[in-house]
């Protein structure tokens, strides 16, 4: 995934109303840019952090530039836009980067009224189907591990829908898309939401495939390339 334009470096001053960020350019001038992530952005919105923004083609004179990357923990890059996770996975499927999805192609989201939480349908030329859901992951700790969810209730609806699909006999995959260069492992955040952790372990026990892939992020592009382990207590699901 190429960024929409070349990126410009700045320093983060303050985040306003979650969707706006005040920054200082290298010439010390201040500017407001659009933040495409309305979540908490823990560790990514610290005063004084280096960030990079894009200059998309403007449809109108008042269009804001877009915050794309943040530098965290002394040098790791994080792609802060959660909507880019679907694009990263889609490109990885098309390029054959994810062996578990070799031969599949994306089609439109399934026309099933119950499925309203980002469930996607993939299909092979021979008619084989697979339902997937992509969860973007942006955080990392001092051990270079990420955790999910970041708030209570996050991801629960999608996980419940994946379980229903599995119980109906479909192949189902949950993909965690790690948009953080430094993350080497992923854990369920049991302290944040123990219900999600229990449901995730139940889903794995019932045969839902759960995998995590980390993006390689530069100032020019982001692309998936490395499978990382999912850590469940002492058990590890590794690639």
Q: Are strands 20-24 and 66-72 parallel, antiparallel or unpaired?
A: unpaired
Domain boundaries defined on the chain = 7-74, 84-237
Domain 7-74 matches domain 84-237 at the CATH topology level: no
Longest C-alpha distance within the chain, in Å? 59
Residues 157, 45, 193: CA angle, nearest 5 degrees: 30
pLDDT at 125: 85
pLDDT single digits (tens) 33-91: 999 998 888 788 888 999 999 987 654 445 789 999 999 987 899 999 998 999 999 99
Q: What's the CATH fold of domain 7-74?
A: OB fold (Dihydrolipoamide Acetyltransferase, E2P) (2.40.50)
Q: Is 162 exposed, middle or buried (0-12, 13-18, 19+ CB in 10 A)?
A: buried
pLDDT at 85: 93
pLDDT at 205: 95
Instruction: Tell me which of 3.40.50.10490, 3.40.1380.20, 3.60.15.10, 3.40.1350.60 is the CATH number of domain 84-237.
Output: 3.40.1350.60
Read off the tokens for 171.
């192949």
pTM strictly above 0.75: yes
pLDDT single digits (tens) 117-150: 678 889 888 889 999 999 999 998 888 899 999 9
pLDDT at 61: 46
Percentage of residues in the chain having pLDDT higher than 90: 67
pLDDT at 114: 57
Mean pLDDT of 218-234: 89
Q: Which residues contact 220 (CB under 8 A, 6 or more apart)?
A: 2, 3, 6, 7
* 3-class secondary structure per residue, the chain: CECCCCEEEEEEEEEECCCEEEEECCCCCEEEEECCCCCCCCCCCCCCCEEEEECCCCCCCCCCCEEEEEEECCCEEEECCCCHHHHHHHHHHHHCCCHHHCCCEECCCCCCCCCCCCEEEEECCCCCEEEEEEEEECCCCCCCEEEECCCCCCCHHHHHHHHHHHHCCCCEEEEEEECECCCCEEEECCCCCHHHHHHHHHHHHCCCEEEEEEEEECCCEEEEEEEECEEECCEEECC
CA 187, 90, 93, 158 dihedral sign is: positive
What's the pLDDT band for 155 if we cut at 50, 70, 90?
very high
User: Chain-wide mean pLDDT for the chain?
Assistant: 88
pLDDT at 173: 96
Q: Does residue 108 have a pLDDT over 70? A: no
pLDDT at 233: 72
pLDDT single digits (tens) 175-205: 999 999 999 999 999 999 999 999 999 999 9
Residue pair 123/107 in contact (Cβ under 8 Å)? The answer is yes
Question: What is the spatial order of strands in the sheet that 185-188 belongs to?
Answer: 145-148, 185-188, 230-232, 235-237
């Amino acid at each position: 995934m190429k960024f929409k334009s070349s990126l410009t470096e700045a320093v983060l001053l303050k985040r306003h109303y979650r969707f706006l960020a005040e920054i200082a350019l290298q010439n010390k001038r201040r500017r407001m840019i659009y933040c495409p992530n309305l979540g908490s952005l823990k560790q990514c919105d610290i005063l004084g952090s280096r960030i990079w923004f894009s200059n998309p083609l403007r449809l109108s004179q008042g269009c804001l530039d877009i915050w794309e990357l943040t530098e965290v923990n002394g040098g790791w890059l994080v792609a802060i836009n959660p909507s880019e996770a679907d694009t990263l996975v889609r490109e990885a499927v098309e390029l054959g980067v994810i062996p578990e999805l070799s031969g599949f192609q994306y089609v439109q989201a399934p026309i099933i009224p119950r499925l309203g939480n980002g469930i996607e349908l993939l299909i092979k030329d021979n008619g084989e189907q697979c339902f997937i859901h992509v969860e973007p992951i942006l955080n990392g700790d001092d051990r270079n591990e990420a955790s999910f969810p970041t708030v209570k209730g996050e991801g629960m609806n999608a996980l419940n829908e994946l379980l229903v699909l599995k119980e109906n006999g479909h192949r189902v995959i949950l993909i965690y898309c790690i948009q953080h260069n430094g993350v080497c492992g992923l854990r369920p955040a049991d302290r944040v939401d123990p219900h999600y952790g229990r449901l995730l372990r139940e889903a794995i026990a019932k045969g839902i495939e759960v995998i995590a892939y980390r993006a390689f992020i530069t100032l020019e592009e982001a692309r998936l390339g490395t499978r990382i382990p999912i850590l469940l207590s002492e058990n590890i699901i590794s690639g």
